Structure 1
Amino acid sequence: MKNPYQNLVIHYFEGMLSLDTDISSDPRFLGLWQEQGTSFVFFSQPVPDLADRIKTDNPGVEFKDVYDMTWEQWHGDAVHPYDVADFCIFPPWEVPEHIHGKRPVMMDPGVVFGTGLHPTTHDCLDLICRVCACEPVHTVLDIGTGTGLLALGAAAMGCDRVLACDFNLLAVKTTKKNIALNHWDDRILAFQARGETTVDLPCDLLVANIHYDIMRQLLDSPEFVKKPRVILSGLLRSEARDVAAALEKKQMTILEHRSPDGIWHTFLARPRADRPKHAPVRSTGSISGTAKE
């Protein structure tokens, strides 16, 4: 199988588009990314005929530009099989012959960001492994799932019920595709929702690798402190300081704090009342330095 996204033609519009089924079912159409009042339409080759139709059908939306680039240029790198924590992660067009005892996770990121190569994703996957190896984790809530990789990792670790939410519809569609690729339809449910509205869903483990402004809203929710375990990631140093202070204020114990590159920060925490007297608290990063972020 070849990578179906080798070449990308991306049409950028200011405004929210509506696409008819003829366009969305065209074999050259790869996806529609809409966020904060902008729309990006992805095709696998130049489509001047479809582009003109989109402009005609959406008179209130302003066409801004069109970009022609490789998939690697869009994502920042090529995606090849790689190991992280207990997992072997690979795209469907490059299935490794040998997994070497790792848990296989097939992931097609499509045109959604989140190939799994970011250090925060590595930290989250490793912490998911650690938590699941230490105690039963039946239900997981993955807020801001993106391509669904963290949800897939939880399912690979044997979690029975994983809820994967994202406000971006294309991310949800990509996650659903990855769920089907791994045959985990019975374990993972992907749905579109704002992260701050889903924090009240019950779970054994909450995972949020998200923008700081959404995380602040999660921390403000009275339901947040009821989660037995939380993994919070995607934080720069000043944001990590604020999150650490918020966790302390909510009487949450930080079990582990990671920042292997000194830039991005990840926390594993739980309610203080649930902490055994001699539970270790580990830190692999500093949030009190003076270097610029």
Structure 2
Amino acid sequence: MLVYHLPGTLDTREADLDLLWEAGATGLEERAGTIRAYFAAPAELPGPVADGEWREEADQDWQAEFRRTLRPVRAGRVTIVPPWLRGEVEPGQLPLVIEPGMAFGTGHHETTRLAVEALSGLKLAGLGPNGTGARVLDVGTGSGVLAIAAALLGARFALGVDIDPITIPIARENAVVNGVPAGRVRFEEGTLGEGPLTFPEEGVDTYDVLVANLYAELHDLLAGAYAAEVRPGAPLVLTGILTARLPLVRDALAREDFTGVRETLDGEWALVTARAPAR
């Protein structure tokens, strides 16, 4: 078996992954800070992904090994599990079933778990107009795990947006698998800064919570748009941030007058929460 070892993680090198697929990779996985790309034959790789190393390895049933080692991920009141482990969810926990590998965000990365934990702590069922449930915007939704988690945790409505059209049908399928009604969660291709992201409530054009699992550089770029999409004082939950890039996010939130900034660290990753500025 031919395996290309590329330094980095699936999150930190997300922009490069399409290059591996286009070069003929038959599968990708992350282990201990290294991306493993499986190929049937040697391939010529473009410059952005040419910093890896080819290795010949013994054939192994990697899918069976992956399924054997995968465990449920507990994140606050939610437990994220693959379909074959649903029966292992502890009583009292909300199961969130995600098929690994369908799109980014399976819950097994620190950034996704941190974000679900933060949503779990917000008591979403009591937020929103007259305490009828929060309206949540999930930016860079990927597999839809954060929007679906919000709905399971009591959000009145969640909208997940992503610039990658491939993720949208996957997120919709995940919502169906988890029994979330179409009226409570929606997934659309798009981004911020192109006008208000509206939802099925006449006269309402802001959200009660915004969550985004993106790179620090994108948080910096979108900080102003975050403020425009949420009501004054609304909770902001940002993750996908390498601790070395925290200053960039801090400066962006200060620039846009967000308040109550707090940070949670987990290894090399960070989650940042804040409150939207008053208008």
TM-score by length of 2: 0.67
Deviations 1:213-238 (A, max 9, x none): 33222113361574612111111234
Assess, with a 3 A threshold, how the Cα gap between structure 1 residues 72 and 38 changes in structure 2: closer, same or farther: farther
Please tell me whether the aligned partners of residues 144 and 195 of structure 1 are also in contact (alpha carbons under 8 angstroms): no
Q: What amino acid sits opposite 2:116 in the alignment?
A: L
Cross-structure match for 1:26: none
Identity of counterpart residues, as a percentage? 24
Equivalent in 143, 151, 154 of residue 158 of structure 1: 154
Deviations 1:85-126 (A, max 9, x none): 101221112221553211121112344232211112121111
Please tell me whether the aligned partners of residues 105 and 143 of structure 2 are also in contact (alpha carbons under 8 angstroms): yes
Q: How many residues get paired?
A: 225
Equivalent in 115, 119, 125 of residue 128 of structure 1: 119
Equivalent in 252, 276, 279 of residue 246 of structure 1: 252
Please tell me whether the aligned partners of residues 124 and 155 of structure 2 are also in contact (alpha carbons under 8 angstroms): no
Cross-structure match for 1:212: 216
Equivalent in 245, 263, 273 of residue 268 of structure 1: 273
Any stretches of 5+ residues in structure 1 without a counterpart?
Answer: 1-32, 45-62, 275-293
Q: How does 1:15-164 map to 2 (within 5 A)?
A: 38=19, 40=21, 70-71=62-63, 78-96=69-87, 99-132=90-123, 135-136=126-127, 137-164=133-160
Cross-structure match for 2:166: 170
Any stretches of 5+ residues in structure 2 without a counterpart?
Answer: 1-13, 28-42, 46-58, 128-132, 199-205
Please tell me whether the aligned partners of residues 75 and 116 of structure 2 are also in contact (alpha carbons under 8 angstroms): yes
Between the aligned partners of 1:98 and 1:38, the Cα distance in structure 2 is: 37
Between the aligned partners of 2:264 and 2:17, the Cα distance in structure 1 is: 31
RMSD (CA atoms) = 3.7
Please tell me whether the aligned partners of residues 254 and 267 of structure 1 are also in contact (alpha carbons under 8 angstroms): no
Q: What amino acid sits opposite 1:266 in the alignment?
A: L
Q: What amino acid sits opposite 1:40 in the alignment?
A: W
Deviations 1:113-161 (A, max 9, x none): 3221111212111110111269414211101111111111101111121
Equivalent in 178, 182, 188 of residue 178 of structure 2: 182
Q: What amino acid sits opposite 1:211 in the alignment?
A: Y
Assess, with a 3 A threshold, how the Cα gap between structure 1 residues 200 and 163 changes in structure 2: closer, same or farther: closer
Assess, with a 3 A threshold, how the Cα gap between structure 1 residues 83 and 237 changes in structure 2: closer, same or farther: closer
Q: What amino acid sits opposite 1:152 in the alignment?
A: I
